[in-house]
Amino acid sequence: MACWKKIRSSSWIYPTLVLCIYGFFSLMRPSEPFLTPYLTGPDKNLTIDEVTNQILPVWTYSYLALLFPVFLITDYMRYKPIIILQGLSFIITWLMLLFVQGVLAMQLMEVFFGMVTATEVAYYAYIYSVVSVDHYQKVTSYCRSITLAATTVAAVLGQLLVSLAELSYFYLNVISLASLSLALLASFFLPMPKHSMFFHKNRIPETPQGATDQDTKSKATSINEQPSCQEDKDTAKSSVLSRTLPECQSDKHQCHMLVQLCKDVKECYSTKKLLYWSLWWALATAGYNQIVNYVQVLWDYRAPAKNNNVYNGAVEAAATFLSSVTSLAVGYVKINWDLSGELALGIFSALNAGSLFLMHFTTNIWVSDCCQSKHGTLRFNVWIQQLCRTGDSDYYNCSRS
């Protein structure tokens, strides 16, 4: 009991613990490596062409359309409500995946999954609004490694249930739905942040210039002139205006924050290092999402799926296990990315490109699986090492300017 009180009173342990619990259960989805076999199997009875050309692309465009507005709303709402929204979107997605039929229904399901991935920014940004800069490196490694660990556990569990217990893909989705329900429950216990990056910065309240001038004039009037009826009316009007002033100030503040956001974006991307990193990350993320979206279709083409002969879960586990271990370790390692950052990005990019070419040209399903594992591991390692710089790098300073 004393230990729990200590955790609750800690400025960073409690929110990190709850967020990690949410992250674990939201990624503990053993059915995800088997999505394509599930959609083309007897449960949904869709063709591979319908899945490839009509259903999967909807997620890409939904994600793109929702990403920027969700980013702004996330900051304005201070993260926690958006994490809850992500949990609700997860539940809706898996309910539709379980109980509705047809191409149109699956397309709508992909729209909700686009909401899930667009709101993912709230999970990664939340923790920086409730902990001090001193703990950024540790909490980053914890939050990222727990998601990778959950993906690994889910993939291994799914593979064991399919290969050994010959469990139906339908019941894998039921297990995923139960895990997502626990994640949604955990999200309600997150502390509400008091500030955010743009709309709710810690500000020193300023006295409005108009109010200062009015006070000066009223003092001069009280000294030099006697009160009159007209002055009483003016005072009454001023009092009404002063009551509406906070609302006006709030509107002006929001407009000011939007203008400041545009200025921050311009200032940040005038830094070549940040611009190069952002371009690399945008291209890497776009490519990675396309691979994740369609790699199961490639595997089905190379080796047509049979219910107990599918090893998608084993590949997912291999792709994330090493990333989980290394991302946790990186939280305790100091790396001078100012000296080695560009070289590392070049090497990782070349290795990723080589893996993709090999996946395309090989006809061996095992070689294709190994390439996918290597591609995911390399990208996640770069991601976590770059994020660990936020406590003392130009990236964090720019975002807070």
For position 315, what pLDDT does the model report? 73
Phi and psi at residue 341, to the nearest 5°: -65, -50
pLDDT digits (tens, 9 = 90+) for 309-348: 677 777 777 777 766 666 556 556 566 666 666 676 777 7
Distance (Å, whole) CA 389 – CA 257: 26
For position 212, what pLDDT does the model report? 46
For position 68, what pLDDT does the model report? 85
Distance (Å, whole) CA 115 – CA 69: 11
| Spatial contact of 386 and 278, defined as CB atoms under 8 Å apart | no
For position 364, what pLDDT does the model report? 66
The region that residue 45 occupies, defined by phi over 0 for left and psi between -120 and 50 for alpha, beta otherwise, is left
For position 205, what pLDDT does the model report? 43
Three-state SS sequence of 229-287? HHHHHHHHHHHHHHHHHHHHHHHHHHHHHHHHHHHHHHHHCCCHHHHHHHHHHHHHHHH
For position 221, what pLDDT does the model report? 46
pLDDT digits (tens, 9 = 90+) for 42-68: 999 999 999 999 999 999 899 989 988
Q: Which residues of the chain have pLDDT under 70?
A: 1-11, 196-254, 256-258, 260-261, 265, 268-269, 303-309, 322-342, 344, 364-401
Residue 181 CB neighbours (<10 A): 15
